[in-house]
């Protein structure tokens, strides 16, 4: 007989991933508009106000992602079985 008992994979693996790595996901998603605006200014001769737009977009996206991560953490903490 097989003595190894395998546990089935969690149906909520993405929620667990967001709970574990959400802080880094928010930082990376927040940095992408800024990096894209810097690249656009450097490579495509976009006016320098593009960097300001990138900063505003980065701040907005970071705050949006942080609130999403916190919402997922509350859902996982309160509703999913442990």
- Provide the pLDDT for residue 33: 97
Name the pLDDT band for 2 (thresholds 50, 70, 90).
low
Name the pLDDT band for 10 (thresholds 50, 70, 90).
confident
What residue spans define the domains of the chain?
15-79
Encode pLDDT of 25-76 as tens digits: 999 999 999 999 999 999 998 899 999 999 999 999 999 999 999 999 999 9
Any residues with CB less than 8 A from the CB of 55 and at least 6 apart, and which?
A: 34, 37
Encode pLDDT of 68-80 as tens digits: 999 999 999 998 8
d(CA 69, CA 10): 19
């Amino acid at each position: 007989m097989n003595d190894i008992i395998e546990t089935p994979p969690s149906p909520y693996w993405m929620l667990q991933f967001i709970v574990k790595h959400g802080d880094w996901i928010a930082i990376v998603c927040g940095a992408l508009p800024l990096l894209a605006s810097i690249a656009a200014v450097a490579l495509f001769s976009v006016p320098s106000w593009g960097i300001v737009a990138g900063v505003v977009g980065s701040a907005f996206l970071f705050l949006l992602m942080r609130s999403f991560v916190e919402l997922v953490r509350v859902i996982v903490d309160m509703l999913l079985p442990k």
